[in-house]
Structure 1
């Protein structure tokens, strides 16, 4: 079941409204959109994934080597720079922008990303960054405006047993793909369901792989190097930066 609604924007703040709601077998997800005449469409989603820890979901989203197993839009990835003290990475992506029956060419991303931890909540921040030693070419088209961040935390299972055996992911995402906003909205509507289903299968496969005791790959190891923050730090700059991510979904 999918629902699509119109958007609203208050005078000085962004209001997210439901773009679609759809059922999935293990995870439940809702997507939200805000349209702004002065920037790209912004999306927010909330997903509950049963029977996984926040640490596994953290590694799963960071692990580009495994990501190609479930995200068929990503076909090139490389670490350009990394910091073994903070876990900060600069990565190079090339993705094919392809929705059902709509192919819009490849997109190139240079992304700076890092993880902070408060308790067992992980704040994963990624955004576009300039990188002088890798000049942009005419093709693939570069995405210079990109921001995608998500906190991950343990939550009570939907089984109703009161146990914190599920993980919640709140995603806040925007990027300028260089296409009209209405086309982007249609594309997201077509692609979101398939992406969630692929992610669901990917999490299950990743969980099985981890259970075999296989050594974590380089990207997953970097995900485990994160910066622990205090309540004071969270209540100042970082809290402000993540306000949109952490606000409740209704």
Structure 2
């Protein structure tokens, strides 16, 4: 699946450059309308991130997320600051189809194991963000010493199936995905469903990923730069 992305900060849709909260570009002051435009183009899946929540560990954009869930017809996945069982359940009860657990997969694996046992690998997705193959956490503000491969393998053993792999250095740069990283992970962990995120520019990048065996991807900045359209994504 191809997921258009909406990143939320202060109730608005924005884009960061390489995960830098100080380098923010406003995309749409009304992310609910933006979600409806994605629907209108024929797309039935949407990737949401609570950027404020990723830093604080709290549901900072809950009202906007709730409004988007009510307005969007299709699969909605959400990440950003989901570090407690109660918050995860709250979002699932809200109608979020897939929760993306990032930092907690490294800092609180017991929580993720519990969520996977109760809700399954189809609804609990692991966000694996990093630099130079090493995992970054807490809104990408902290660098760990754990490899992305190691985290994926550990979470697979706990029952995870889907992994959103983001090269922080590529995010928002329009330089293309980190194909070497994704290909290596796909080769070493073929049972993991990898979702490419970060740097994807156009349909050609999507086709290159598909040729490498990676069918799922998240598109953010390319949509707003105009190098790919929602209609093209619907066709792909």
Q: Return the TM-score normalized by structure 1.
A: 0.24
Kindly name which structure, 1 or 2, has the bigger radius of gyration based on alpha carbons.
1
Instruction: Looking at secondary structure, tell me which structure has more helix per residue.
Output: 2
Specify which structure has the bigger relative contact order, considering alpha-carbon pairs within 8 angstroms and separated by 6 or more residues. 1
TM-score by length of 2: 0.25
